[in-house]
Amino acid sequence: MRAADYCIVVAEDDEILRYCTVKLLREHGYQIIEARDGLEALELLERCDDAIHLLVTNYDMPRVNGVELARRLRIKHERLMVLMISGSAPALDPNDDIELLGKPYNQAELAAKVRDLLRRGYPVRA
């Protein structure tokens, strides 16, 4: 698959961090749906029947946190890969199958982690 074939949801309540994340991922060619928090992401995706491949989300957000967002999105999008971003070390349940990226991080780390998760979750078949 090409980068443009992947749809990534970015849910981040920090406006500057959300802007930078979305900008970077769009520059890499990914389709992006952006949301200010978990609840807005759920509302936006409620009307969306397209495949969603990856959720990039902040752990600690108002209204709906990143873990709850991932769990709820996986009801409809079972193969959804999840990249959780956090400045702390949240206790994640291994059953949730969530990858963690700690703050601070740089653009290269984010891009590499996204690429790795997409390749693992959606391997190219010959």
Domains, the chain, with CATH or none: 3-121 (3.40.50.2300)
First to last CA, the chain: 11
Q: Which amino acid is at 112?
A: A
Q: Which amino acid is at 26?
A: R
Q: What's the whole-model pTM score?
A: 0.92
- Predicted confidence band of residue 126 (pLDDT cuts 50, 70, 90): very low
What digits encode the pLDDT tens for the residues 5-44? 999 999 999 999 999 999 999 999 999 999 999 999 999 9
Q: Phi, psi at residue 31, to the nearest 5°?
A: -80, 135
